Amino acid sequence: MAKPFVNPFVSGQFLELRVDALVSDGRGLGRHDGVVVLVEDALPGQLVRARVDAVRKSLAEAALVEVLERSPDEQEPPCPHAGRCGGCSWQSLAYGRQLAWKERIVHDALERVGKVACPPMLPILPSPSEWGYRNKMEFSFGDEYKDGPLSLGLHKKGSTYDVLTAADCQLVHRDMNQILSCVLAYFRKWNVSYYKKMQHTGYLRHLLLRRGDTTGEILVNLVTTTQEEHDLTELKEQLLELPLEGKIVGILHILNDSLSDVVKSDETRILYGQDFFYEKLLGLQFKITPFSFFQPNSRGAEVLYETVREYIGDIENKTVFDLFSGTGTIGQVLAPVAKKVIGVEIIEEAVEAAKENALRNGLSNCKFIAGDVFKVLDEIEEKPDVIVLDPPRDGIHPKALPKILEYGVDRIVYISCKMTSLARDLEMMQMAGYRVEKMTAVDQFCETVHVESIVLLSHKSPDSKINVKVEFGEDDDKISLNAIAERAKKYQPKPKITYKMIQEYVEKKYGFKVHTAYIAEVKRSLGLTMYDASNAVEELNQPRKHPPKEKVEAIKDALKYFEVI
């Protein structure tokens, strides 16, 4: 009998190992004495010295101490903060190798978690721009070290407090870096405090910048508390005088007194211009507000949506359900070649933006509904021919996915920004009779571990059919299997009609609720069995309740509808 495995490592132990691969969260994977070790910030091909921080059942997690041998895939990162800033993790890895590893990580997740045998993957699609691609960035105010000078930028890797000034961030357009430097210099000059999360005191919280990649329109959002008052006129004038390639169309002062470190608005004051900007994708124009969801890589989004349009095929006379539709970008890209598009999104602000954008783009065959997909699908009378899914990072809720699959449409296109969530959902979809026809990864997040994936699924159909005639009996007494089936249908017991079904029917048709005791009373008056709701029976042990006439008629109508009477 084999001895049970005992992890040989202890926390604090130092190891030397060669890194062989990357895993989905970006850590390097190597082996020491045959045991897997995951090393933070390590790259494939490196020989590293690492310190064990955690010992798991079958592996160890370690921190990088020193690179003893460089990887042949390494490059000098262009950002001076690389390795310290939490914004990027793969700047030291050549872009071609980033793409190769992302493709492999997606493939492995499909096989291992999604149970997709030999995934039919097409080559990964790169971002049109490796640098300066982000159209949105949330910068934080703080300090680089305790009681240091005011900083504005991104958190240090592994820290929720220390902030590195990112005046030369490589992921955004240089216009954003100029604006950041201007804002930081202004508040340093006046020695304005930043909000301290633990003490809940201070003024400056965030600088949220959004820039249309195709339009050059810029929205500047300064987020502060209400604990101090400052005249921001001078800052506004300095921003408008900056020699930018694009154009500032709005400067907003967003007030946020929330205790949590989240960018939100209790009140928004427009200091200049408007509270939105426009961006264009694939010939369509989209209005974007400070908190609207929009793909952070505009050029990459065009590659993503063109691929969706290619995967979905001919939809000229088809109804498309765009579920988890956000601001309706995918639905509006598909609408010009579809019969109808119905989008469902839980965030009301996004739905209003989707409606406004559809109107602006002259699309009359789009309908956007605010609500939870799980609930809204019960209310939609139309049936889809094709479904597009673009859920949040955590995937589709386990209760919603079976309801989506019940439609049994021939094609589903699933878009995901988190491979492990996609793989988990694919396993259930395959159990429901769908198969992965093809898929590809689309890189929208260069220099990071993240990647978008697009999967085309089709409903399985038999390769061929044969007709077999089955008869029972002999000579003139023969009877076909179909005839037996028809007889069985006639004598099938009727499904049980529950009190809940009656209540739901009445509420939906008449707009009011009826108590189970009222239903029991009506059934008793009609000589029907009524003891299939325990609380109704309990009510009947009490003094009798006589339901109002309109409720009696509504209950009788429900009983007729369900063929009880």
Catalytic residue numbers, as ranges: 417
Q: Which residues of 115-146 are buried (b: 16+ CB within 10 A; e: fewer)?
A: ebeebebeebbbbeeebbbbbbbebbbbbbee
Apex 473 CA angle, 469 and 479, nearest 5:
55
Amino acid in the structure at residue 19: V
Q: Which residues contact 12 (CB under 8 A, 6 or more apart)?
A: 51, 52
- 351 neighbors 322 (Cβ within 8 angstroms): no
Q: How far apart are CA 414 and CA 392, in angstroms?
A: 12
In whole angstroms, what is the distance from residue 408 CA to residue 402 CA? Answer: 10
How distant, in Å, are the alpha carbons of 199, 368, 512 from that of 376?
Answer: 43, 11, 20
466 phi/psi in degrees, rounded to 5: -130, 140
d(CA 241, CA 174): 15
User: Which candidate, 189, 90, 87, 214, places its Cα nearest to that of 139?
Assistant: 87
Q: CA gyration radius for the chain? A: 30
Which value, to the nearest 10 degrees, does the dihedral of the CA atoms of residues 140, 146, 149, 152 take?
A: -10
DSSP 79: S
Q: How far apart are CA 61 and CA 39, in angstroms?
A: 6
